[in-house]
Each structure stands twice: as C-alpha cells, then as structure tokens.
Amino acid sequence: MGTELLSDVNGAPKLQRKKLKGKRAVVKWLKLFRWKKKKEYERMTLEEKILFKLRKAHKKEERLVEAIQKIEPKDSSVTTHDPEVLTPEEHFYLLKLGQKCKNYVPVGRRGIFQGVILNMHLHWKKHQTLKVIVKTFTAEEVREIAAELARLSGGIVLDIDEDNTIIMYRGKNYSQPPTEIMSPKVTLTRKKALDKSKYRDALHAVRRYIPKLEQELEDLHTEMKSDSDYNLKSINREENSVADNIRRGDGLWIDNLERSGETNTKTSELDGSELERNMFNGNESSMDSETFSEPESLSDIFETDSEVGIEEKDESPLYLNEIERFPSKVVQEPEDFQEHLRQISAASKRGELDEKDLNVAELDDIDKIFLRADINRKAAAVELVMKD
C-alpha cells in the first residue's frame, strides 16, 4: 500500500511502490485506487468530463491499433494470384451453377483464418463452385474478404450476392494443392483470429464514439457562448431598465414632494383653525357656566376632531366674541386697536370687568393660562395686520 524511497546509480531519490503481499491487499489497493478516480471524476465540470472521455477514447484507439498491428501476420511469403480469364458464356453458366448449389462455407466474427481456406479446398474437391456466407461485416469489408479469399485460395470470384454471399469458382485445371497451400501460414490461427476480431470490434466502437463526444463538446461550447451572450444582453437590459426607473423615479419623487408639501400645508392650516376653534369654544363654555367643574373643562379643551366634524357650529369672526366680553370705559372706539387691547387687559387685571360677563376670580390656573395666551395671540395678529 505504501511507497519507499530508493536511490539509483546517480544517487537521485527514486520512488518505488511497496510490493503488495496477498490477494486481499491487492484487491484493497485496487478498490482505493478506483474510489479516488471516481471522486476525481465527480468533482469535474461537464466540459472537463467530456474532455476526459475524449482523451481516454483517443488513447484506447491508439492501443487497439497497435494491438491489431502486432497480431497481424507478416506478409513475407506473399502468394501471387493470376486468375483465369472466363468468357461471358462460361461466367453466366458457372454463376447459375453456383447460385443453385447448396454447399457453403461460413465466415463468422473471426474472419479469414486457416480453417476457412482448408474448408474451401475440401468443397472444391467434388464441386466446381461454392458459396462463402459472410456475417457481421459491412459491404466494403465483404468485398475485401472476397479479394483476400481469391488471393489465398487461388479461386475466381463470380459474384457477391445480397452483400453477404460470395460465389467462387475453383478454376478450369484445378488440382488439390498440398497441405501448405490448403492451410497457409500467412493466415491467423483460430485463437489469434478471435483476438483480432475483439480488437477490431472495439476499434469500430471507439471510432463511432469519438465523433459523438466531439459533437457534444461543440454543442456545449455553442450553448455556453449563447448563454454568455444572453447573460450580457440581460445585464445590459437590466441596467437600462434601472436607469430608466431612476430617471422616472426622480421626476415622480419631486412631484410627490410637491404634492405632499401642498397637502401638508393644507392639513396644517386646517388643524390650526380647528384648534383655535376648539380653544375659543372651551373659553366660552368656561366663562358662561357659573357651576364650573374641572373634568368638564378638560373635555371641552381636548375635544376630538370627530366631535368637531359631527357638530356643526356657526363660524364667527376671530376675536370678536372674546373682545366683546372685555368692556372698556372709553365710550368712543379708539383709533389705535392695539391700545384698545392694552386697556382691556389692564381693566381685567384691576377687576373692573362686569361680573355678568366674566368673573376672573372663579377661573382656575389652566383657564387663566389659555386666556392669557389668547390675548397674546390677538395682539400678534393685530401687529401683523398693521404691518400689512
């Protein structure tokens, strides 16, 4: 399982795997090796997996080609084939004879080997023609097999029927050849022919598999390119949409600010007028009622908006009712309104007000505060009017 360091002739360290003892250790090491390879494959991306399969297929193709070249027999003693010339009448007669005959030689997955040539000569010992039925081969391979059989056996190919049946003629002056010719050494043995057929089938499968992998890789690259283009377009589209929304949002935001400012000013004006009305109404109720109680005054002062909205009250000019409750000793109205207000406040402090209109002594601290604030507000309003 482990490794040990050895030194070669030059003294450089050389890595050598420790020898495994026993079948169980070998199986354990193989399982670990396969598990590592499996985990490496699972961590790959889709493109890396296809490239890994493609490299593996090319390596396998090279190994199979080398194996077939090694197993092929050497053509050191190549036999020359000089077929006899047949007239059209002879060719037609022999072809009909070969189509009607029932003797045949099968060629399976092993292809051509020594036993096939021997069987052909045994049939030609009593028959002029024979059929060679070839299975598991393509039409081109069947034509190659026919040319190879004619070269090795010395016969004449009359026709290839249905792309899998070869009709052959032994020749005019045929005589059974010696054993060296009937089973030539240039052909493969039965076992080597089977091994060659396995390598050949595997090579065909690999060569069919490689174009599929290349097509998958090409499709993957085109798909990735299209996805990247689509992502760039979508990002640009999103950026443009965000910019448009920001532009539109700025205009809408300004419009909303203007509208909200207008509505805020209106609501503030309405709230101020309603508060003034509530305060004046509270003062009137406190001054008119001789039996004044504290909870009633608080309820009058903090009157809700809903109650004000439900009760319809006559709107009177500002400060008119309050000013009339503070009579002055001046018979004629003075020209200066501010001086008139000062006289009213001084009279209220001295207690010169009529008890019918207002009894300041009976008011509590909260009502006095509101009354003083009301007078100050009136004075400020008069000053504004005079400035205008």
User: How sure is the predictor about 75, in pLDDT bands with cuts at 50, 70 and 90?
Assistant: low
Residue with tokens 């809700």: 304
Q: Which has more confidence, 329 or 188?
A: 188
Q: What is the pLDDT of residue 21?
A: 78
User: Residue 293 in 3-state DSSP?
Assistant: coil
Mean pLDDT of 299-319: 47
DSSP string, 70-117: HHSPP-SSPPP--PPP--HHHHHHHHHHHHH---EEEE-TT-SBHHHH
pLDDT at 358: 52
Nearest to 276 by CA among 377, 192, 206: 377
The domain locations on the chain are 88-187, 316-387
Residue type, 218: E
CATH topology for 88-187 is Translation Initiation Factor IF3 (3.30.110)
pLDDT classification of 178: cutoffs 50, 70, 90: confident
**What is the pTM assigned to this prediction?**
0.50
Burial (CB < 10 A; 0-12, 13-18, 19+), residue 113, is buried
Q: Are 383 and 376 in contact (CB under 8 A)?
A: no
CB 357 within 8 A of CB 320: no
- Amino acid letter for position 1: M
pLDDT at 360 over 90: no
pLDDT for the residue 355 = 43
Tokens of 266: 């209106």
d(CA 280, CA 303): 12
Give the up-direction half-sphere exposure of residue 63: CA atoms within 13 A in the CB hemisphere: 9
pLDDT confidence of residue 73: 79
State yes or no: pLDDT of 308 exceeds 90: no
Asked if 203 and 65 touch (Cβ cutoff 8 Å), the reply is yes
Give the tens place of pLDDT for each residue, 124-172: 999 999 999 998 888 999 999 999 899 888 899 999 988 889 999 998 8
Longest dimension (CA), the chain: 171
What is the Cα–Cα distance from 167 to 95, expressed in whole angstroms?
Answer: 7
Going from the C-alpha of 59 to that of each of 68, 136, 160, 168, 218, the distances in angstroms are 15, 26, 37, 41, 20
Handedness of CA 177, 180, 184, 188 (dihedral sign): positive
pLDDT tens digits for range 77-123: 556 666 788 899 999 999 999 999 999 999 988 888 888 999 999 99
Our separate counts of H helices and E strands in the chain read 12, 6
**Per-residue pLDDT at 55 exceeds 80:** yes
153 CB neighbour count, 10 Å cutoff: 25
- Residues 258-302: pLDDT tens digits? 666 555 555 555 555 555 565 545 554 444 444 444 444 444 444
The residue type found at 260 is: S
